């Protein structure tokens, strides 16, 4: 099993791809071919635990890891870290619709599923590829990735982690989660700008020759915990495979029958993982890509034109406030039949002109598997309210976007295929926007009083990791201009 770059033909192992994070040509690592999960293997996975399924699926990609190394990574990530030892439970909402709850981990967001295991994958990979170097994890976050990465990498030997987030582009709870993070190897810094500024800055720093020389002198090497790292993407494939197995085990579908998948989408990694599960053999019919008011992905899937030259909106679903969806590059690579030169040209156009368009043939291939829609702020609130009143199910602002867009998809198409909707965050992470949707009472100014109010109104419990923030000290207070990100890194690394 080897990996190549979306922009240049390469041949690297899984360990090299994970340790490096991003290809030196600026491209993203993708598998040279997709390992297959046969129907027989799927049947064997059905009665298994989540950890057993994870070992089986990840082993197909990590075949330069020993079985013992894969098991070590999986057990380290998924033992004692998720509610009821169930990382990705399914909740039946009726009418063939199921919530895949991905927020039962230590930071209450779907990123935990990947970022609890990535430190294990990365340290094992580093021992194989760079045994004498300190791995420096560089992260740009729109909210959830930052805290999940910090929680995973804090005080992990042989690593340092630096997280950048937009000063006014994350929720108060997300910000508090990051800025209270302890650990001798962690640094957290706000930037004046939005998530795209942070992500673009990180990518430039990865490719900066002077920074590479600085790292080499200090026996350090960059890697990434963003979904541009295949070590982030692979664990996400697992929960779509697992969701299919749970539908079969629960009698909701028969083995071999398809499911649909709907995902609230910003950087395109979560929905891409579902596509990879299909490429491996999981019967998935349609991918429904749900956008918020920053509906660049919806426009792309409908027209074939990707144009970031548009207004940027700060919304109640901040993890989706993105105009440069990095993982879309991987999809383009597959749609263009693994033509790295074509993809490099598209990325050059995006960088220079802020836009590109795909051929009619590629658009047809895209629309055969993907549908897309968007949901504005008002509709997001209405969806949270409706779901709570009709199903007594409380969801966050991101998940509500996917619910609304999927409802519209069903109305338009009449497609009754059983569906899995990725529920990506605890509603308590966005309580200031969730509470008004289900209750008309005055919103408490204090963030923790707000959590308690939401718990009382909804008859649900405040997640322990969020309740514990009340007593934690803010440790990270730095905010820099986007042009000063490299300077902050140098000062932290010494």
Report helix, strand or coil for 166.
strand
Question: Which letter does DSSP use for residue 12 in this model?
Answer: B
Question: CB–CB of 290/404 below 8 Å?
Answer: yes
Q: How far is CA 230 from CA 141, 249, 355, in A?
A: 17, 29, 25
End-to-end CA distance of the chain: 38
Torsion angles phi and psi, residue 36, rounded to 5: -105, 140
Q: Is 84 exposed, middle or buried (0-12, 13-18, 19+ CB in 10 A)?
A: exposed
From CA 407, how far away is CA 335, in angstroms rounded? Answer: 27
From CA 182, how far away is CA 46, in angstroms rounded? Answer: 39
Active site residue 175: no
Tokens standing for residue 67: 């079985």
From CA 301, how far away is CA 310, in angstroms rounded? Answer: 16
Beta bridge partners of 371: 288
Torsion angles phi and psi, residue 165, rounded to 5: -140, 150
Residue with tokens 């064997």: 44
* Beta strand pairing call for 355-357 and 479-481: unpaired
Tokens standing for residue 469: 């923030």
Report helix, strand or coil for 307.
strand
Nearest of 106, 222, 69 to residue 159 by alpha carbon = 222
From CA 299, how far away is CA 294, in angstroms rounded? Answer: 10
Question: CB–CB of 189/488 below 8 Å?
Answer: yes
Tokens standing for residue 233: 């993407």
Q: DSSP for 250-268?
A: TTSS-TT--EEEEEE-SSS
262-295 burial code (b ≥16 CB/10 A, e <16): bbbbbbbbbbbbbbbbbbbbbbbebbbbbbbbbb
Report helix, strand or coil for 368.
helix
Q: Which of 111, 175, 286, 293 is catalytic?
A: 111
Active site residues: 111
């Amino acid at each position: 099993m080897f990996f190549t770059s979306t922009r240049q033909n390469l041949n690297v192992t899984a360990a090299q791809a994970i340790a490096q994070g991003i290809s030196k040509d600026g491209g993203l690592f993708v598998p040279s071919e997709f390992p297959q999960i046969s129907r027989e293997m799927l049947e064997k996975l059905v009665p298994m635990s989540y950890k057993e399924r994870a070992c089986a699926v990840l082993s197909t990609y990590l075949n330069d890891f020993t079985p013992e190394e894969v098991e070590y990574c999986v057990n380290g990530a998924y033992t004692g870290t998720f509610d009821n030892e169930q990382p990705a439970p399914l909740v039946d909402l009726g009418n063939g619709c199921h919530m895949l709850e991905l927020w039962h981990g230590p930071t209450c967001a779907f990123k935990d599923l990947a970022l609890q295991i990535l430190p294990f994958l990365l340290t094992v990979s580093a021992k194989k590829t760079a045994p004498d170097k300190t791995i420096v994890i560089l992260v740009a976050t729109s909210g959830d990735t930052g805290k999940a990465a910090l929680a995973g990498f804090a005080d992990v030997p042989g690593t340092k982690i630096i997280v950048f987030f937009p000063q006014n582009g994350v929720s108060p709870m997300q910000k508090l989660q990051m800025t209270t993070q302890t650990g001798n190897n962690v640094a957290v810094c706000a930037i004046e700008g939005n998530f795209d500024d942070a992500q673009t800055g990180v990518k430039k720093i990865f490719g900066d020759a002077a920074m590479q020389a600085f790292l080499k002198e200090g026996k350090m090497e960059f890697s990434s915990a963003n979904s541009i790292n295949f070590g982030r993407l692979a664990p996400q494939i697992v929960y779509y495979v697992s969701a299919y197995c749970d539908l079969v085990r629960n009698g909701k579908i028969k083995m071999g029958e398809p499911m649909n998948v709907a995902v609230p989408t910003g950087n395109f990694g979560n929905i891409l993982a579902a596509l990879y599960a299909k490429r491996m053999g999981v019967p998935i019919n349609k991918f429904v890509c749900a956008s918020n008011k920053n509906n660049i992905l919806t426009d792309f899937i409908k027209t074939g034109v990707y144009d970031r030259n548009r207004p940027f909106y700060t919304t109640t679903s901040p993890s989706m406030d993105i105009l440069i969806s990095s993982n879309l590059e991987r999809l383009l690579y597959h749609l263009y039949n693994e033509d790295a030169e074509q993809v490099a040209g598209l990325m050059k156009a995006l960088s220079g002109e802020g836009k590109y368009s795909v051929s009619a043939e590629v658009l047809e291939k895209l629309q055969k598997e993907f549908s897309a829609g968007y949901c504005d702020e008002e509709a997001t609130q209405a969806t949270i309210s409706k779901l709570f009143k009709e199903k007594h199910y409380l969801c966050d602002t991101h998940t509500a976007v996917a619910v609304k867009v999927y409802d519209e998809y069903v109305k338009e198409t009449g497609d009754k295929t059983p569906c899995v909707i990725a529920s990506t965050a605890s509603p308590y992470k966005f309580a200031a926007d969730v509470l008004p949707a289900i209750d008309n009472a005055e919103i408490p100014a204090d963030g923790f009083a707000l959590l308690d109010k939401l718990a009382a109104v909804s008859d649900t419990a405040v997640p322990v990791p969020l309740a514990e923030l009340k007593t934690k000290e803010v440790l990270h207070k730095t905010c820099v201009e986007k042009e000063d990100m490299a300077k902050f890194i140098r000062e932290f690394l010494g």
